[in-house]
Each structure stands twice: as C-alpha cells, then as structure tokens.
Amino acid sequence: MKVLGLESSCDETGVAIYDSEHGLLADALYSQIGLHSEFGGVVPELASRDHVRKLLPLVNEVFEKAGITGADLDGVAFTSGPGLAGALMVGACAGRAMAYAWGVPAIGVHHMEGHLLAPMLEETPPAFPFIALLVSGGHTQLVRVDGVGQYAILGESLDDAAGEAFDKAAKMLELPYPGGPQLAKLAESGDLSRFTFPRPMVNRPGLDFSFSGLKTFTLNTIADCRGEGELSAVDRADIAAAFQEAVVDTLSIKCLRALKQEGLTRLVMAGGVSANRVLRARLAEKLSAMGGEVYYPRPEYCTDNGAMIAYAGFCRLQAGQQDELGIAVRPRWPMDQLPALA
C-alpha cells in the first residue's frame, strides 16, 4: 500500500510517500522560518498562504523522487488537527481533492499521533506497549500507548508547554526566531553552577506539567542581572543553561515516574523538543540505568514532516478507516478521542 502524506498544521509544509513494502519512498519539507522570523513568531494568515504556494510543488517533487504517479497511490493522508485552522484547511482541501481525483480513500490524521508514530519509521521501532513523551510546539504530554489508537493520557501541560517555554525564554534573552534551538545552542557555553532554577511540580504527585512559573523565574533572573548592569553574553549563556537544565530535569523525572507507575521500561520521545541533545542524553542515561530503552525519530522527523503523516495515515487506511467526502479540520482535537484500530 502506497500512501501520500501531507502536513500543513503550522509553519512547515511536508509531503511524503510511504510504501508498506519498501518503507519511505520519498519526502520533502519546506520551512517557513524565514517568512516568520521578522515577526518573532508564526503569523497564521501568512502561514496559510505559504502552504498554498508550496504544497503542490512539493507533491510533484516527491512523485519525481519516488518514480511514481498519483495513479500508483492507494490512499492520501493529511493532517486534520490540531493546528492552525487556515493552515490545516490547505492540506485537507488538497488531500481530499487529490484522493477524489485518483479514486482512492483519504484519511485525516491527528498531528500528535503522527509524532507519536514517527519512531516506527526507524530500523528498530519500539514494540507496544510503551510510554510516549510528546513535546511538540504547544503540547507536552505523557501517554501510555498499547497500540495504534490505544492511548491513555497520563499527564499534560496545564499552561505553557515545554516547547512554548523554550521559545518564550529565548525571546526574553533576545535570541532570534525560532528561539528553542537557539537557546539550546547558547546553553552549551553556560555555567550550570551559577543559577538554580526550580523544577516545577516534581515535588507533588501526578504527571502533569507546568512551565509558566519557570518562565517567570527566568524573567526575574534576567531582571536581576540587568539590575547589576547590561545583560552580558555570559549572563545569557548561564541563564540559558540553567533554564534548559530545569526543563530537561523536569521532563526526565516525570518520564521515570510514568514508567514506574505503569510498570513499563520502554519510552518513546517525539516532537520538536525531542531533538534536544541534552534531553536525549539524560533520558538515555536514566533508562539504561533501570534496564529500559528510549526510542526517538531521527532529528529531521522530530519537527513537523510529511513522513509521519503518511505512516500514521497508512496505519489507519490499512485497518479500513477512511473519511467521508466532506472536508473538516479540528484545530483542537484531544488525542484520546481517536478510535483504536480493529
């Protein structure tokens, strides 16, 4: 079964073709970072218009790379939510129209399910069941996964997600957009012994997250440093290091708590923040010490991409699920509302 996947939920246009026999045949990605950088964040209307411009050229590119045409497809998958409504509509309308034209079924895919299943594209995919740490954009969730569609949300962010906190802290430090990767890079030269930032909600039971207080602590620390004079390059690096350490420590503590609670030893980490090298190293160390394993997608599949949508769509189309002819997107879509595969 060959499935075309379209991702257009936010500021990256992704297209890929997944083949159940040969794996990923081709993929292409266009990032809108340059478009939004002057505004310091994503402008929804500009994002939607850019998806319109880039989507079909990327579709043609992946067909050429894969050496096939639309007539060879068995289905089309597109991101149906969550995300920016206008951006989602671009992929949904294009995907539904192409599927109708080629006479194949179409399926709207949950963006976070795509991230969750992205490690399945690797040579050694995780076996079910496992705990998933999803850290993507506005989402930070811990999920017990017993199969495709069999999800139990164990904990999630009550306010700012980890990715949002990274971006907001970076903005406070006057780092360029996108801030998260810039902050992580700056933290490499920071002194961890200078500041001690709080680890929010780790001293209370449960698996929920809250990073708004950490953001406020960062703002106050910057103000204190400025009170002593101009914020120096050393100040910025030390604050970035302390901030990153607090987030990584918090995520690691909650992951270990979730694994212990559910009696599991396999952890999957996915989403943009999962590309953070310090977080990967910390979780690998912790899981190894307890005899467990941690899985994550390669860096290019941590951020939004078409490959994860093509694979998630394949899983559901293969099980006989498909959408009706109407076009609908869900900017807000709880993942535990997804149907399990038969």
Cα–Cα distance measured from residue 119 to residue 135, given in angstroms and rounded to the nearest whole number: 14
Give pLDDT tens digits for 99-124: 999 999 999 999 999 999 999 999 99
Q: Which residues 6+ apart lie within 8 Å of 229 measured at CB? A: none
CB neighbours (10 Å) of residue 21?
A: 7
The answer to whether 134 is annotated as binding is: yes
Quick check: 69 pLDDT over 90?
A: yes
The answer to whether 24 is annotated as binding is: no
The answer to whether 15 is annotated as binding is: no
The answer to whether 276 is annotated as binding is: yes
So what's the pLDDT on residue 154?
Answer: 98
b/e map of 22-40 (b: 16 or more CB within 10 Å)?
A: eebbbbbbbebeeebeeee
**Which of 161, 142, 162 is closest to 153 using CA atoms?**
142
Sheet strands side by side (includes 75-81): 23-31, 12-19, 2-7, 75-81, 106-110
Mean local confidence (pLDDT), 224-251: 94
So what's the pLDDT on residue 336?
Answer: 87
The answer to whether 83 is annotated as binding is: no
Cα–Cα distance measured from residue 6 to residue 107, given in angstroms and rounded to the nearest whole number: 11
The answer to whether 167 is annotated as binding is: yes
Contact present, 81 and 6 (Cβ < 8 Å)? no
The answer to whether 137 is annotated as binding is: yes
What pTM value is reported for the model? 0.95
Quick check: 137 pLDDT over 80?
A: no
The answer to whether 136 is annotated as binding is: yes
So what's the pLDDT on residue 228?
Answer: 74
The answer to whether 238 is annotated as binding is: no
The answer to whether 304 is annotated as binding is: yes
Cα–Cα distance measured from residue 129 to residue 338, given in angstroms and rounded to the nearest whole number: 17
So what's the pLDDT on residue 207?
Answer: 98
Percent of the chain residues past pLDDT 90, beyond the cut: 95
So what's the pLDDT on residue 36?
Answer: 95
Share the mean pLDDT of the chain: 96
